[in-house]
Amino acid sequence: MKTKCLLCEVVTGRGSEFYDHLEDVHMMPVRRVRIGHLGKPIEETHSECMERFMFSHSEYGSDKCWCPDCVGGQTLDTVNKVTSKYGTMYVKH
> How is 37-60 classified by DSSP, letter by letter?
GGG-EEEPPHHHHHHHHHHH-TTT
**Predicted pLDDT at 52:** 92
Distance of CA 30 to the CA centre of its chain: 4
Question: Is 34 a domain residue?
Answer: yes
Domain range spanning residue 43? Answer: 2-84
Question: Is 78 a domain residue?
Answer: yes
**Predicted pLDDT at 93:** 66
For 73-93, what is each residue's pLDDT tens digit?
A: 998 899 889 888 888 777 776
Q: What is the pTM of this model?
A: 0.81
Q: How many domains does the chain have?
A: 1
Question: Is 92 a domain residue?
Answer: no
Q: Which residue has the higher pLDDT, 64 or 87?
A: 64
3-state helix, strand, coil in the chain (%, to 5): 45, 15, 40
Question: Is 89 a domain residue?
Answer: no
